[in-house]
Amino acid sequence: KERHAPVTAATCQLADPGNEPGEEDFFDLVIVDEAARAGIDVLIPMSLGRQIVLVGDHQQLPPHVEEEIADLMEQGLREEARPDESLFRWLWTRLPRSHCVALDRQYRMHEEIGRVVSAVFYEPDLVLQHEFAGERAIERSPRFGLAGNVPLAWVDTRHAMRNRELLQRHGTAWPTVQSNPYEVSLIMELLRRADRDELRRLQE
């Protein structure tokens, strides 16, 4: 016998029914994806569920509070809306461990890259396990002809801040959070050196 369940999908802000929610507006289960990136508007879908599941990672990018919204906040609230802490992180550090589940298996990145991510952001609390490890990961790795085809390489750009020509060209306000033309030029140069046939193969 087939079983069906109604599913509604929306952004946090558009989850608002637009009026005082009645009994029919509440959901048995609300799942908020990328909850650690959401701002205060994550409370909108949370207020409409009998059970709430927040999926996210507070070790990644924090929520972004737009300046226009921050300017409209009362002073006390503005101070509470810390840019480096989301509601997700706040709950993660305060809820009982029985309410929290850490997903420790990743499927998308090369094992060597995953080990660096695990060591820098998660250990010793959590050590990532790699579903695609060893030879299988190596076989799938593209060979761009860059940096000896190692899975992970670092490009040092610190010298750019001491380069007078670059500073004169881009001004003292460079680089900014929104723009870093020097790093853009480096990335474009690396792409020009890459194996074009391999790039085309990845697009197929």
pLDDT in tens, 69-108: 666 555 555 555 555 578 888 888 899 999 999 888 777 7
Give 100: exposed, middle or buried? Use CB within 10 Å, 0-12, 13-18, 19+. exposed
Would you say the pTM of this structure is higher than 0.85? no
The CA distance from 103 to 100, in Å, is 10
- 45 — pLDDT class (breaks 50, 70, 90): very high
The answer to whether residue 130 scores a pLDDT higher than 90 is no
How does residue 10 score in pLDDT terms, banded at 50, 70 and 90?
very high
User: With contact defined as beta carbons under 8 Å apart, do 114 and 152 qualify?
Assistant: no
Task: Specify the residue for token string 């009362």.
Answer: 74
Phi and psi for 170 in degrees, rounded to 5? -105, -10
β pairing state of 49-54 and 105-106: unpaired
Point out the least confidently predicted range of 33-37, 53-57, 150-154, 157-161.
157-161
